[in-house]
Structure 1
Amino acid sequence: MAQFILLLRGVNEGLTNYSPEELQKLFEKYDDWVEGIRNKDKLRGARRLQDAVRHRIDAQNGKVIDGPFAETKETIGGFFLVECQEVEEAMRLAKQCPVLLHGGSVEVRQIEDDCRYSEQEARITDNPDEFDAGKTF
């Protein structure tokens, strides 16, 4: 079986137009969608990303740049990690995601099985020249 990441974009798109009751119904749809994936034993993980400031490290000089980097509609608000037989199955799950009901989108990407770092932990330090694969954070 292959693993896929479902990247939810624009999770807050259009929500200001919803009444509290409509929001509650929408959240129930999210709960039902996730429960359906869980009941099929496909869910391997999920996280919501904070809306706060994002940090990006520039490749040229290692400088840290803070701030929003994309339009709200393009911002990744969270992800689901699922395990499926094929990409078509992952796409079927994505097509049922409630983010599509309020203007968002879902990007489906297959996760590579052969990443040499996937079984290792890495330690990141304050020293940008120091990166030690195989050690803990």
Structure 2
Amino acid sequence: MRLRIVGVDLPGRTADTDPAGPPYRDVHVGVQRRDEVVDLVPGDAASAVWDLEVTAKPEPVDFGGPFVHGRRGARFVYLAWGSVAAGGGFHTFRRAKIHPADAGAGLVTEAAAGRGVLVARLGLTDARGGPVCATVRPPLVRWELVPE
């Protein structure tokens, strides 16, 4: 099944999330595959889109694959925020959890049957102007099925 995450309203390339320390610079966001963050998008991009292949089981709703984390009944995809070092390393400082089961069994069943792409749309800036983090659920995430 294809899962697409569409992020808009990115917070910028600097994040001042730790009052005790200096702000993070050259901020990027990516999706976590197992223990690595891939498909990095600059924090000042107009939008970010990740197309992921996941396995899905509609009843009871469950997901699997290298982008899926968590235990059965509480699976999620991580969006990871971090700063890119001069040598190319990525230092994660914040993560957001997107729960595909929040789309509902109907949309998951349709997507698993190949009748479209399950799409999550969300803003990537929190109320304080920083990178969105923690668990992000509806209404902050809007789920829909779109044609391939």
Higher fraction of strand: 2
Could you say which structure has the larger radius of gyration? Answer: 1
TM-score normalised to the size of structure 2?
0.29
TM-score normalised to the size of structure 1?
0.31
Higher relative contact order (CA 8 A, sep 6+): 1
